[in-house]
Amino acid sequence: MRRCGVSAPNTCGYALDAPPPALLSRAQEARLQQYLELLLSQAQLAVLARQERIYRDSLARAVQLLDVHFGFDPRAPALRAELVGLQTESVALTLPDISSSRERVREYLARDAQRRAGVAPR
């Protein structure tokens, strides 16, 4: 029988120069999952508030939590890839320049007010 790192190097899922990941109790795992959910909720709220830094920080912490505590879960790589991909998305809203439209509306309203007052438009 092969032991981890002896005959088959690095087949354990963790670095050989680091200690193996600690086993978690069900309560600890539930708290970590809840914390992950909170980080993702925080990222969602940051999108709604257009807060780029909080969005990216929340996703980065979620990726770190996955790497440290959930690397053994077969679903973790797909979730990690999705979160890393989301980190590249911008949540900042770029508004178009409407100053020329506003100026045209002001001119129209001024001409309309002059017309109603009986003053000839220029």
First to last CA, the chain: 96
For the whole model, what pTM was predicted?
Answer: 0.59
Q: State the average pLDDT over residues 34-55.
A: 94
**Structural domain harbouring 54:** 26-91
- Asked if residues 34 and 53 have their Cβ atoms less than 8 Å apart, the reply is no
pLDDT in tens, 54-108: 999 999 999 999 998 887 888 889 999 999 999 998 888 788 888 888 899 999 9
Query: How many domains does the structure of the chain reveal?
Result: 1
Q: Rounded to whole angstroms, how far apart are CA atoms 118 and 111?
A: 10
* Residue labelled with tokens 């807060």: 51
Better-scored residue on pLDDT, 122 or 73: 73
Q: State the average pLDDT over residues 11-16.
A: 55
Residue 82, domain member (yes or no): yes
40 class by beta-carbon count within 10 Å (0-12 exposed, 13-18 middle, 19+ buried): middle
Residue 68, domain member (yes or no): yes
- Asked if residues 97 and 87 have their Cβ atoms less than 8 Å apart, the reply is no
